[in-house]
Chains A and B, each alone.
Chain A
Amino acid sequence: MSVRASDSGHHGLPRVLAGLEPGGAVTLAAHTRIHGPLPDIPPHQLIEEVERSGLRGRGGADFPTSRKLRAVAGRRRVGPVVVNGSETEPASAKDRLLLARMPHLVLDGAVLAAGAVGASEVIVKVGSGAVDAARALEGAIAARSGDPVRISVRVGPEGYVTGEESAVVHYLNSEVAKPTFIPPRPFERGVRGRPTLIQNPETLAQLALVARFGSRWYRELGTVADPGSALVTITGAVRAPGVYELAFGTPIRDLLEAAGGPVEPLQALLVGGYFGTWVDASAAVELRLAREDLRSVGSSLGSGVLIALGESACGLHESARVISYLADQSAGQCGPCVYGLRAIADAVQAMAGGVAHGSEHARVLRWCSEVRGRGACHHPDGAVRFVESALRVFAADIESHRRGRCGARPAGLPLGDSAVAPPGRVERSRLVRAR
């Protein structure tokens, strides 16, 4: 490594958010001052360093990054590296933050990844709503020289499923932002029919730092099982919603405090956004942001979204809104998703409205188990997992709604049209030392 972590002051947090300035992108000069120059590291060494670091994808799938790199690196006529800046989870703001304010760190990671897999091109794909990100990326690309690869920005349509990997590839190939039947996977045949590496912006930002400072540095934060730092978007019933960078293993209680604390007692947390699951608040505050902890309650961090639901809200009502949104967001290609999610949404709506049949609950659970795994992509899987968690966590609400409508005011969980908390908050969090 050409730059030592101690030279740049990268001792703890922030890491990918280091140097974040209010409004506007970090310039190339500032970026180089903060992180050091783009390192000259042989491809195989980069992949090994990424492997040793334990870096995993931050787009939601949590797949080991080194394995993804290797899957493409061994192939001939490799296609472009795609930076998947779609960020279609409505409450998530971290990727847009990185692309709009730290574009050079993400681009560094993409260029390094391209070198590692033998790609000669980088495409950054964003949604049409991310105007600030697109503008910042164009500016950053223009400011860079000496990258051994061509870099371009493509803007695609908004929509929940447009960020799915095969949908991104489909869009880049034929301007249709819908998932395709797998196999083949992008690493086999992707953009222009070539092996394609597709990565989340945060993954590439982390990779750009691992390339500079190494795997041992990366593991100085987090735990042995969950090394490193992560960007989390926390929103809902907290005083200071926003994007936070913290170490894996941080107690959720600490994260809530960092976000200004709850505005009222919480009843539940939606962990992983709409593609995630509800966790009862009393259980959630005992957990750390760690795979093992979250798995123990049937949850996972996903794309890093946490939505806090206060006591005065109705979890059943909010869940009905979300599943209705998810049903509407189906790409419309697969019967079980199109019909199944709509039927489930209507039934949950009826339960929330207190007008459901007595057998509705059982029917919803049957539909959920039947729909699972029967779409071309995982949209229906996430939707039914969300519904099942809602029916579990808000079981008491189902009961009370059966006897009349619940009077709680809507919490206004952000759907596509609502603004999300202002991004850009950087917090130093408690270091969790690797054991």
Chain B
Amino acid sequence: MSATLRINAIACEAHGMCAELLPELIRLDDWGYPILDESEVPPDLVGLARRAVDACPTLALLIDEA
């Protein structure tokens, strides 16, 4: 079961919840917008990734689970 994260850059408004909840995979750039260095989610982080997706106020963080 593989999972990948994507960001809808148009919907994103830099609230920063995703980086707060999933610092292992998401960091913020100089302007507060999320950088996904690695889109593949390790199995042990899938639960946290789903929580981060749910927490995004603009539904900009997306998870694709195969």
Within 8 Å by CB of B11, from A181, A340, A367, lies A181
The DSSP consensus for interface residues of chain A is: helix
A340 touches B9 (CB 8 A): no
By a CB distance below 8 angstroms, the chain A residues around B29 are 335-336, 340, 370-371, 374
Within 8 A of A (CB), among B20-50: 29-33, 35
Which residue from chain A places its CB closest to the CB of B11 in the assembled complex?
A181
Q: Is B63 an interface residue (CB 8 A)?
A: no
Q: Say how far A117's CB is from chain B's closest CB, in angstroms.
A: 28
Q: Which residues of B contact A337 (CB under 8 A)?
A: 9
B interface footprint on A330-349 (CB within 8 Å = 1, 0 otherwise): 00011111011001000000
How many contacts between A and B, using CB within 8 angstroms? 44
Contact for A180 among B10, B14, B30, B33, CB less than 8 A: B10
- Which interface class (under 10, 10 to 19, 20 to 34, 35 or more) fits A? 10 to 19
CB neighbours of B10 from chain A (8 A): 180-181, 333-334, 376
Do the beta carbons of A343 and B30 come within 8 Å of each other? yes
Residues of chain A contacted by B11 (CB below 8 angstroms): 181
Most interface-central of B11, B14, B29, B32 (chain A CB within 10 A): B29
Q: A370-B35, A374-B35 are in contact. Are A334 and B30 (CB under 8 A)?
A: no
- CB of B29 to closest CB in A, whole Å: 5
Task: Tell me the bound Cα distance from A375 to B33 in angstroms.
Answer: 11
What per-residue 1/0 map shows which CB atoms of A153-182 lie under 8 Å from chain B?
Answer: 000000000000000000000000000110
Structural contact, B9 and A335, CB atoms closer than 8 A: yes
How close is B66's CB to chain A, nearest CB, in angstroms? 16
Q: Name 11 A/B residue pairs within 8 A (Cβ), A-sorted.
A: A181-B8, A334-B12, A335-B13, A335-B14, A337-B9, A339-B33, A340-B29, A343-B30, A370-B35, A375-B9, A376-B8
Q: Which residues of A are interface residues toward B (Cβ below 8 A)?
A: 180-181, 333-337, 339-340, 343, 367, 370-371, 374-376
Question: Contact residues of B with A, CB < 8 Å?
Answer: 7-14, 29-33, 35
Top 7 nearest A-B pairs by Cβ distance? A334-B9, A335-B33, A339-B31, A333-B10, A376-B9, A376-B10, A181-B8
- Supply 16 further A-B pairs (C-beta < 8 A) apart from A339-B33, A376-B10: A181-B9, A181-B11, A334-B10, A335-B13, A335-B14, A335-B31, A335-B32, A336-B9, A336-B31, A339-B30, A340-B29, A367-B30, A374-B9, A374-B29, A374-B33, A376-B9
